Amino acid sequence: MVERLHIVDAVKAAIEKAPQRKFGESIDITVNLKNIDMAQPKNRIDETILLPHGTGRKVGIAVLGKGDITTRAKEAGVDAIMGPEEIERLGGAPREARKVANRYRFFLAEPSVMPQVGKFLGPRLGPRGRMPTPIQGGTDIKPIVERLRNSVKVRTKDKKVFHVKVGSTAMTPDQITENIDAVLKRVEAKLEQGNLNIRSVYVKTTMGPPVKVV
């Protein structure tokens, strides 16, 4: 397990070494894995991880469906609501569909539209790891939306390296450290040999140089 002291020291160093900017920057970590065969699907990581302090940036969330779920989506303050007609229309507008897939980080959908989503939006959402989470009728989606607002997605596919947004320069080093700690604990729990499968971890601001955590 990576010690918290090492993480917070690396975070402080990354912020200090970053060029001064008039705007806030994101803070990311890069995790390099080792001694693990990523060609085997069982070794791949595909996790949505709740960060204790969020990313410091607004996370886009879209809801796909009609009827009751749209009412609940409006109450939850989601960023976009798309009905069956819009889903089908986007299937014939690949450029616009690509923008939608990039604009929203998480998608929720009522089960009845999932076949349409798979047919018309699947080619855009699937490769990005953004296929919708099905939501049963009558579900209060507000707590789900609030959780996703503060979550990040870790998806390795067949690569031994991945990047995760863990905060912003507007946050304190302790907040960023707690976020990194949450990500690393979850990742280690999914790896066959835990921290023995982690070769190195680096932290950096958007424009700054990487600083090694471990």
| pLDDT (average), residues 56-73 | 92
> Could you tell me the sign of the dihedral formed by the alpha carbons of 16, 18, 24, 29, in that order?
negative
Q: Cα 170 from chain centroid? A: 19
Of the two residues 166 and 58, the one the predictor is more confident about is 166
Q: What is the pLDDT of residues 152-162, one digit of tens each?
A: 999 998 999 99
Model pLDDT, residue 3: 63
Judge whether residue 19 has pLDDT over 90: no
pLDDT digits (tens, 9 = 90+) for 111-136: 999 999 999 999 999 999 999 999 98
Average pLDDT over residues 143-165: 95
Tell me what percent of the residues of the chain surpass a pLDDT of 70.
98
For domain 61-148, say whether CATH 3.90.550.10 is its number: no
Banded pLDDT at 67 (limits 50, 70, 90): confident
Instruction: Tokens 């982690």: give the residue.
Output: 198
Whether the per-residue pLDDT at 20 is higher than 90: the answer is no
pLDDT of residue 6 exceeding 70: yes
**Residue 2: is its pLDDT beyond 80?**
no
Residue 57, burial from CB neighbour count under 10 angstroms (0-12, 13-18, 19+): middle
Residues 185 and 194: their CA atoms lie apart, in Å, by 9
- Of 119, 121, 132, the closest CA to residue 78 belongs to 132
Residue 74 has pLDDT above 90, yes or no: yes
Nearest to 153 by CA among 187, 109, 185: 187
Name the 3-class secondary structure at 66.
coil
Q: How far apart are CA 185 and CA 162, in angstroms?
A: 15
Separation between Cα atoms, residue 100 and residue 133, nearest integer Å: 16
CA distance 54 to 61: 14
The reported pLDDT for the residue numbered 21 is: 75
Predicted TM-score (pTM) of the model is 0.89
Homologous superfamily of the 4-56+150-212 domain (CATH): Ribosomal protein L1/L10, rRNA-binding domain (3.30.190.20)
Section 60-89 average pLDDT: 94
The full length of the chain comes to 214
Return the pLDDT at 35: 96
What's the mean per-residue pLDDT of the chain? 93
Q: Where are the domains of the chain?
A: 4-56+150-212, 61-148
For the chain, the straight-line distance linking the first and the last C-alpha, in angstroms and rounded, comes to 10
To the nearest whole percent, how much of the chain has pLDDT over 90? 86
